[in-house]
Amino acid sequence: MKQASLFSDDSPAGAGRSTLVPVISRRSRPLSPAQRRFNALMERIETLRAELERWQSFTDVHLRRIATELAPRAAKLREQQTELARLLDRQITHPALGRRNREPLRELLLGLLTEMLEEEESPELLALYDRYAPTARADEERMGFELLRAMAEALPVDLDAYEGEPSAEALAAWLNETMGEEPPRRRGRAKTAAEDCGKGARELDSHALRTVFRRLASKLHPDRESDAGEHQRKTVLMQELNAAYASGDLLRVLELQHSVDARAADALAELDDAQLKPYLAVLQRQAKRLREQVDALIAPFMAAFPGRPPRSMTPGGLQREFERALVELAHVQRCVAEDLERFADIHRLREALEAARREESGTRRPRKRSRRR
């Protein structure tokens, strides 16, 4: 049965947005550039919040489906392929196979073993591979490592600093990492002064967040309430406020203020550009932090699908990819099961090899020229 889509890509950006997001509106005169920037940042943060929540939910479901659906099927396929390799190893010495069919069967077995060893090595499969391959797999890896190292001599890197295992894959990963590193630079006076200035600006921005927090905390403090119901309500709100302040979530702090103070929107509208500047800085950092959190969740999927544009990576699209992978895996399992049944009969195995050889020779055979009369 097809898995229902839990992560639709059709919903517009910002769908389901909270109605409590505070924005500045003034009927008497147009908004200033800082006020428009404030509203844009509020909407962007709310959109990023929804995107982050969607990716977090998808990642949890995806990992669970990998563990419960994909991994067991992949393990079953691995068992089937291992059994097929053992079967072909036994059949290759069968007298009824025929001398002409031994080499095609050896190539078929080596192809299967190569594919399996690239996914995961095992002593049994390595021994089978070395038995039929012209060069042992360890020697192949050593030659590949030496070839890549010789090619890397022309690169501006110190190859003597490499301390990894002697494999081409490990050396290639080290080269990519090393070539991507930037050399350390000296910190000049101008840069140090800029960093000090930035530190002072961040402290000023934190003061803006702290000011809003303190004003709201004085109104929400539950110990000032004698009514049990109101005490419980403010206890919950105070916990949310503390969590938002600890994470630097200015939007959530302002949402809470907006929900408990009817005059909060008017107070925001009265702030001039200079007073809004610290708020804008806090919101910019919050939007950047949310973007980084979203990108961190997307990064493993980007590594699994190299070359794909980041914006094309969506939970709905990845779920469809997963469904296709399950269908393809089930198809491969059926094919391997059929091969296990057919190739257990030496005569059917020989017929399959001879048919494949005739088909291959038919595609390679040149067309005969007609004689002229």
Tell me the average pLDDT of the chain.
79
In the structure, what pLDDT confidence band is assigned to residue 178 with cuts at 50, 70 and 90? confident
Q: How many domains does the chain have?
A: 3
- Residue 356 near residue 104, CB atoms below 8 Å: yes
Q: Is the domain of 302 the same as that of 251?
A: no
Amino acid identity of residue 79, one-letter, is: E
Residue 319 CA to residue 325 CA, distance in Å, equals 10
Asked if residue 372 belongs to a domain, the reply is no
Decide if 16 contacts 50 (C-beta within 8 A).
yes
Residue 53 lies in a domain: yes
Pairwise CA distance, residues 160 & 247, whole Å = 45
Half-sphere exposure of 182 (CA within 13 A, CB side): 3
pLDDT of residue 5: 46
- Give how far Cα 226 sits from Cα of 41, 101, 105, 218, 241, Å: 39, 92, 86, 15, 21
Q: Is the pLDDT score of 118 beyond 70?
A: yes
Last residue of a domain, one of 270, 300, 328: 270
The token duo for 336 is: 């391997």
For range 303-307, the mean pLDDT = 77
- pLDDT in the model for residue 141: 84
SS3 label, residue 19: coil
pLDDT in tens, 330-356: 999 999 999 999 999 999 999 999 998
* pTM for the structure as a whole: 0.65
For position 265, what pLDDT does the model report?
60
In a domain, 8, yes or no: no
Do both 126 and 37 map to the same domain? yes
Q: What is the per-residue pLDDT for 235?
A: 81
Residue of 103, 114, 179 lying closest to 140 (CA atoms):
114
Give me the domain span that covers residue 221: 192-270
- Do residue 254 and residue 318 come from a single domain? no
Rounded percentage of the chain residues whose pLDDT exceeds 90: 33
Angstrom distances, CA of residue 351 to CA of 48, 100, 107, 110, 355: 60, 12, 16, 20, 6
Q: State whether 259 and 204 are in the same domain.
A: yes
Domain final position from 270, 304, 323: 270
| The pLDDT of residue 189 | 52
Task: Please report whether residue 294 resides in a domain.
Answer: yes
Burial class (CB in 10 A: 0-12, 13-18, 19+), 61: middle
Percent of the chain surpassing pLDDT 70: 74
Least confident stretch, 21-35, 294-308, 356-370? 356-370
Instruction: Examine the domain organization and report whether 43 and 111 are in the same domain.
Output: yes
The answer as to whether 283 is a domain residue is: no
pLDDT digits (tens, 9 = 90+) for 59-103: 999 999 999 999 999 999 999 999 999 999 999 999 999 889 999
Pick the more confident residue, 240 or 115. Answer: 115
Angle between helices 273-304 and 189-220 (to 10 degrees): 100
- Cβ pair 57, 294 in contact under 8 A: no
Choose the final residue of a domain: 240, 270, 300.
270
The per-residue pLDDT for 59 is 94
Residue 265: Cβ within 10 Å count: 16
Q: Which residue's entry shows tokens 């947005």? A: 17
In this structure, is residue 4 part of a structural domain? no
Q: What is the per-residue pLDDT for 185? A: 55
Please check whether residue 89 is in contact with residue 128, taking contact to mean a CB–CB distance below 8 angstroms.
Answer: yes
- Local confidence band at 214 (pLDDT 50, 70, 90 cut-offs): confident
Residue 299 or 343, more confident: 343
pLDDT mean over 198-216: 58
Whether 197 and 261 share a structural domain = yes
Residue 285 falls inside a structural domain: no
Q: Are residues 68 and 40 in the same domain?
A: yes
In terms of domains, do 146 and 215 share one? no
Per-residue pLDDT, 4: 43
In a domain, 186, yes or no: no
Q: What is the pLDDT of residues 184-202, one digit of tens each?
A: 555 555 555 444 444 444 4
Q: What is the pLDDT of residue 139?
A: 86
CA dist 337 and 327 (Å) reads: 16
Q: Where are the alpha helices (DSSP H) in the chain?
A: 33-65, 71-91, 102-119, 123-132, 137-151, 168-180, 189-220, 228-246, 250-260, 264-269, 273-304, 315-343, 346-364
Which whole number is the average pLDDT over 289-294? 91
- The pLDDT score that the predictor gives to residue 231 is 76
